[in-house]
Structure 1
Amino acid sequence: MAEFLEALDERKILHVDLDAFYAQVEMRDNPALRDVPLIIGSDPDLHHGHGVVATANYIARQAGVHSAMGSIEAKRACPDAVFVTPDFEKYRAISSQIHEIFADFTTKYEPVALDEAYLDVTANPLAPATLAAKLRHRIWSELHLTCSVGVSYNKVLAKLGSEHHKPNGVTVISPDVAMDFVAALPIKEFRGVGKKSQEKFEQLGIKTGADLRAMSQDELRVHFGSFGDQLYWQARATHFGQVKDHRVRQSVGKEGTFEFAIHDRSQVAVTFKNLATKVVANMEAKHLVGRTLNIKVRDDQYKTLTRSITQTEPFLLDADFLARQAQNIFDELYPDTFAIRLLGLTFSNVSPQAFQSISLFDL
């Protein structure tokens, strides 16, 4: 008699996890930090022994440093580590840029933290592994950051996948291998299993997913309460939770990236015209207007500048006019030489179109 109902789950879920996000950002912005043990947190020597590790790079992790560890303990484990005070404003700004990339792949994504999110890409016709590769390439080419991606048919398996091959890896857990993958998984790697539950599993002789699967749901409830139900289904590679879309569209925009930095002002003008044409078409298709025009520029050192113009009345949806506005802002930002890797044009303060916008040339 079957112990559980095996349901066909045809969803395509990605879990994206930026590798040691805060540390990676600091190493990107300061190459001198790339080859040293780096801890993001307060240096205990400068803060009277206080502080907690926010994250650490993989060199420091090999010495035993991990997130949420006290700074003093981390310094004992890795005396040569360099401490950098976290800059959460910078991390939030970069996280927003990553979320903009997510939005190009699906309208349904669930941020979990600044450095990770679930994406439901079921509606995207491309294979999920292909989408994972494209997404990682976008994040690397635009932000010069790596991430690990888990690909599967539910959130728990996608999360387990992203943790399985870090850093900078992709793990695909398809339905035909999911049960074997979970069976071989060490019990400590199951979602929600902490120090106390690990001790109880040791007492019960449970070491792997296969051992866990041998326990009945009632047995698991006796030992772990309601958490036992979650463990029961995890052991069977099943999870019913949906990707919760908390994103509310408040802007419409497009960006253009360049494989090599551009230095030609005429190329900037052409790019802004192309972006404006696409944004206008998108706004008209969605019957929207916007009162704020935002311009984004990122240089070859990954420094991002944004400027905006806000009007009391909605902007005229005319690509030539918008491109000129963007070019004027760019010329003010870069009156001399420049090396640009990304240009963006976005409308915010958007609202439903209450009238038909026309160009002056249509009169």
Structure 2
Amino acid sequence: MELNIIHVDMDAFYASVEEQDNPKIKGLPVIVGGLSNHGIVTTANYEARKYGIHSAMPIFMAKKKCPKGCYVFPRMKRYQEVSKEVFSILYEFTDLIEQVSIDEAYLDISNISMEPLELVMKIKEKVMIDTGLTMSVGVSYNKFLAKLASDWNKPDGIKVITEDMVPNILLPLPVRKVHGIGPKSAKKLNGIGVYTIEDLLGLSEYFLIELFGKAGMEIYSRIRGIDYRKVNTTRERKSLGVERTFEEATSDKKVLMKYLERFSEELSYDLKNRGIHGRTITLKIKDENFAVQTRSKTLNEYINDLPQIFDISLELLEEIEIHNKIRLIGITASNLMTSELEQLSLFD
């Protein structure tokens, strides 16, 4: 099969931007996140990760692991500026780009005559020259394998997965590496003795559908190298959201509020970046017993500003009674409308 999909993922993006802007901290363990003890780690560079620090870890815990680390408060506007620089470079090579997040995208290179590896090297070189940042890139014949490949040799890596390498290359990987298997699904599989993709390959499609519903069919196909999803440049979204599963469950409301503040900032950026507004904000939490609670509020107006999203998410948090420790929290905007349509409706 043709190697026509590239997945690009910037390396420790926020921390890398901080290092590039402040050369004095290069080589140090850099941790980006809220600076109070109730804050959370947004990004840690690879030096900091050697101490066991990861995103979503509470800052007080990170400071215990790495007391001499360089702790930096996030500068979202600066990260957005650099993200636009990176994507403008990508668009010099192709228009077939699906932006997944501020620092991650799929590229369809079917119409580019250049050899995939030569193209990847040119993209990486251009990004490094213009921004000083590195990216890791995966190349394959579908989105699942390309994303898997981009995570293979981080940081600053390149990995190619060809058809003849599948499924052997996948066999030792943990099941959580499969797109569509989250922490809860991985735990369910571990509970029946399934830990790796090799174990997963021993399960029938019927069994996986019984276990996971429609997603089971997709999982069955993906671990066999089949993924028909296209690079979607004009995807119409019904909702847009941010959520995170904690390494350690918490009942500290101040910690949850800090997450919501960061998520509101990320969600506002994503909405504005796509030129859309939302009218419904939904808060979702999942406790340590996997019980899920959601609360929603639908407004009379369309919004995409950080303060409005944050205020509503806090309001929704107050409506939820928390009896157990929380292991996941997230917010979503739905009832979406493009900015152009919203402007027309105001004039109308």
Q: Does 1:209 align with 2:193?
A: no
2:169 to 181, 185, 190: 181
- CA–CA distance in structure 2, aligned partners of residues 97 and 178 of structure 1: 35
Letter of the 2:223 counterpart: A
Hey, what's the Cα distance between the residues in 2 that align with 1:136 and 1:90?
21
Match of residue 223 from structure 2: 235
Provide the rounded CA distance (Å) in 2 between the counterparts of 1:77 and 1:189: 27
Asked if residue 18 in structure 1 is aligned to residue 10 in structure 2, the reply is yes
In our comparison, the structure showing a higher alpha carbon Rg is 1
Deviations 1:327-357 (A, max 9, x none): xxxxxxxxxxxxxxxxxxxxxxxxxxxxxxx
Distance apart, 1:113 and its partner CA: 0.8
Paired position in structure 2 for 1:160: 148
Partner residue in 2 for 1:245: 233
- Which string of whole-angstrom CA distances, capped at 9 and with x for unpartnered residues, describes residues 77-126 of structure 1? 22222211111111111111111111111110011111111000110001
Q: Choose the corresponding residue for 1:103, options 71, 75, 91.
A: 91
2-side partners of 1:94 and 1:151: how far apart? 24
Q: 1:135 to 1:50 in 2, by over 3 A?
A: same
Amino acid at match of 1:22: Y
**Among candidates 132, 141, 154, match of residue 144 of structure 1:** 132
- Give the superposed CA RMSD: 1.6
Q: How far is 1:204 from its partner? A: 1.8
Q: SS of the counterpart of 2:138? A: strand
> In the TM superposition, what whole-angstrom CA distance separates every residue of 1:205-237 from its partner, at most 9, and x where no partner exists?
212222211211110122222321221112111
Structure 1: how far apart are the matches of 2:15 and 2:89? 21
1:295 aligns to what? none
1:52 aligns with 2:47: no
Aligned mates of 2:197, 2:7 — CA distance in 1: 21
SS at 1:15 equivalent? strand
Choose which of 94, 101, 104 in structure 2 pairs with 1:116.
104
Aligned length: 235
Partner of 2:41, secondary structure, is coil
TM alignment of 1:28-67, pairs within 5 A? 28-44=20-36, 49-67=37-55
Q: Could you say if the C-alpha distance between residues 99 and 246 of structure 1 is closer, same or farther in structure 2, counting changes exceeding 3 Å?
A: farther
Give the corresponding residue for 1:132: 120
Instruction: State the identity %.
Output: 40
In the other structure, the counterpart of 1:68 is 56
Residue type of the partner of 1:78? C
The secondary structure found in structure 2 opposite 1:232 is: helix
- Displacement of 1:186 in angstroms is 2.2
Per-residue CA deviations over 1:256-275 (Å, capped at 9, x if unaligned) read: xxxxxxxxxxxxxxxxxxxx
Q: Gaps spanning 5+ residues in structure 1: where? A: 1-8, 248-363
What letter is aligned with 1:29? D
1:193 to 1:78, Cα distance in 2 relative to 1, 3 A: farther
Verify the 8 A CA contact 1:182 1:237 in the aligned structure 2.
no
SS at match of 1:204: coil
- Is it true that 1:80 corresponds to 2:72 in the alignment? no
Compute the displacement of 1:193 (Å). Answer: 2.7
Checking the alignment, whether the CA contact within 8 Å between 2:3 and 2:116 is kept in structure 1 is no
CA deviation string 1:156-192 (max 9, x = no partner) = 1000000011000000001111322222322232223
Report the Cα distance in structure 1 between the residues aligned to 2:229 and 2:25, rounded to whole angstroms: 40
Spell out structure 1 runs of 4+ moving beyond 3 A. none
Determine if contact 2:3/2:162 at 8 Å carries over to the other structure: no
Distance (whole Å) between structure 2 residues aligned to residue 246 and residue 68 of structure 1: 31
SS of equivalent to 2:48: helix
Q: Distance in 2 between matches of 1:73 and 1:229?
A: 40
1:11 Cα shift? 5.5
Counterparts of 1:202 and 1:178, CA distance in 2: 23
- Matched letter for residue 168 of structure 2: D
**Which amino acid in 1 is paired with 2:110?**
T
CA contact (8 A) 2:32 2:71 kept: yes
